[in-house]
Amino acid sequence: MRHPIFLGICAAGAFALSGCDEQGSSQVDRALSDINVVDESNLNDVMLNVADPDEAVSYFQRTLKDNPDRIDVQRGLAQSLIRAKRHTEAAAAWKRVTEHKDATDDDRVDFADALIRNGEWERADEVLDNIPPTFETFKRYRLEAMIADSNKEWKKADSFYETAIGLTTRPAGVMNNWGYSKLTRGDFAAAESLFSDAIRQDDKLFTAKNNLVLARGAQKKYSLPVMQTTQVERAQLLYTLGLSAIKQGDTNIGKGLLRDAIETHPQHFEAAVRSLRALENNVE
């Protein structure tokens, strides 16, 4: 029923027929263009956040061939390469992004991040130095702290870590990094405090739990602190603490902790069993 009505409307005047066709065609093209932009935007998001990283890389590489000047596609490729842990390619991709006329300071920070992941600390430092100091973001200060750490510039590192924590609502990862920095400097008490803070912020951060045990073991504190753990995590932490005790020369305590780890683990804990056997054989 709709077809005759539509035709009647378009044929109301012979003089207007061609104009109707041209206007309708233009409107349809614009509508389809809008739909394509929305669909592509959604697909880009899916590729960046859900898709297999290597599939996302292939998608953005294909898209970039047809749209070589689009900075959003260049960013998508660079981000996908980071997800795929193809760090050399990612650093090159982020460099191309920063050379685009529409590049931002955020892009330059992401370039520095890619360089650090690729082990190019000096280049990353140079990139960050060329970003105005007024550009203050969590990621920028986190990277600045990591670079200061690598240069053993402890005061600068502490200042950058503290600033970064104040710029995020999820500081657990930075607290863990800062704690590890303190651990490598031999400031075990400060490291223990920072790891504890990180766990309070995110009780699922196992790396911080393991680091906390290392910091306590370095102070000859051979008991696990009160914190939420799974049975497997508890066994692994006891194992870490046992190795720490052995390293400190407290062999008998270490052997006891290894036995506790083996008994605590819900399955066969091969690493702990092997360590305990090696220790007992050496003693014998």
Predicted confidence at residue 279, as pLDDT, reads: 87
Q: Return the closest-CA partner of residue 41 out of 19, 61, 62, 63.
A: 63
Query: Does the pLDDT value for residue 36 go beyond 70?
Result: no
pTM of the entire predicted model: 0.80
Spatial CB neighbours of 250, under 8 Å, sequence gap ≥ 6: 220, 222
Does residue 229 contact residue 203 with C-beta atoms inside 8 Å?
no
Q: Which residues of 28-47 are buried (b: 16+ CB within 10 A; e: fewer)?
A: eeeeeeeeeeeeeeeebeeb
Please state, in angstroms and as integers, the Cα–Cα distance from residue 233 to each residue in 100, 192, 196, 212, 246, following that order.
47, 18, 16, 13, 20
Q: How far, in Å, CA of 270 to CA of 277, rounded?
A: 10
CA 238 – CA 249 distance, rounded (Å) = 17
Options 3.40.50.20, 3.90.226.10, 1.10.3720.10, 1.25.40.10; which CATH number does 136-222 get? 1.25.40.10
* Residue closest to 72 by CA, chosen among 53, 35, 50, 47: 47
> What are the pLDDT digits (tens) for 72-115?
999 999 999 999 999 999 999 999 999 999 999 999 999 999 99
Q: What is the mean pLDDT of residues 178-183?
A: 98
How far is it, in rounded angstroms, from Cα 119 to Cα 146? 12
The CA-based diameter of the chain, rounded to the nearest angstrom, is 107
pLDDT number for residue 54: 93
Q: Which residue has the tokens 């263009």?
A: 33
**CATH no., domain 41-111:** 1.25.40
Q: What is the mean pLDDT of the chain?
A: 88
| Chain centre to alpha carbon of residue 211 | 19
Confidence band for 246, pLDDT divided at 50, 70 and 90:
very high
Residue range 255-272, pLDDT digits in tens: 999 999 999 999 999 999
The answer, yes or no, to whether residue 174 has pLDDT greater than 60, is yes
Q: Please state the φ and ψ torsions of residue 41, each to the nearest 5 degrees.
A: -60, -45
Q: Mean of the pLDDT values across residues 247-252?
A: 94
* CB-CB contact of 128 with 144 (8 Å): yes
**Half-sphere CA count of 30, side-chain side, radius 13 A:** 6
CA angle 203, 165, 119 (to 5 degrees): 90
Residues 6 or more apart whose CB falls under 8 angstroms from that of 30 comprise: none
Distance, in Å, from the CA atom of 264 to the CA atom of 232, rounded to the nearest integer, reads 8
